[in-house]
Amino acid sequence: MTTSVEQKSGGMKQDLVIYVCILVLAAIQFVIAYQNIDGTQMFVRMLIVALVEAGLALLFFMHLWTEKRAFMWSAGIVTVFVLLTLQYGWTDAFRVSAGVPWAK
């Protein structure tokens, strides 16, 4: 009996390459943490790196790349929509930090 892993994905060499890539990206996050930049820039840079790491893990470690494209798109669109709607309250966080008396 074979599983979808054996049938479709790229082999142990690919696993090792993705593993090294994720480790390098994680190291980049640690380097960013010591850069002399403001908090917002730091957050954005780290988030971009984390998204690339997560993308690699999803596509290759979790074999989403080898599943049917229809599944990838269906699950992806729904999840991204939910994640984006969660960002709805951010503006209020800025209102609090910029609008309260001690922020002046």
Tell me if 63 sits within 8 A of 4, measured CB to CB: yes
Q: How far is the CB of 16 from another protein (least distance, A)?
A: 7
Residue written as token pair 């494209």 = 69
What is the DSSP code string of 2-66? --HHHHHS--HHHHHHHHHHHHHHHHHHHHHHTSS--HHHHHHHHHHHHHHHHHHIIIIIS-GGG
Segment 31-90, which members bind another protein (CB under 8 A)? 32-34, 39, 42-43, 46-47, 49-50, 53-54, 57-58, 61-62, 67-68, 70-71, 74-75, 78-79, 82-83, 86-87, 89-90
Binding stretches for another protein (CB under 8 A)? 1-6, 12, 15-16, 19, 22-23, 26, 29-30, 32-34, 39, 42-43, 46-47, 49-50, 53-54, 57-58, 61-62, 67-68, 70-71, 74-75, 78-79, 82-83, 86-87, 89-90, 92-94, 96-97, 102-103
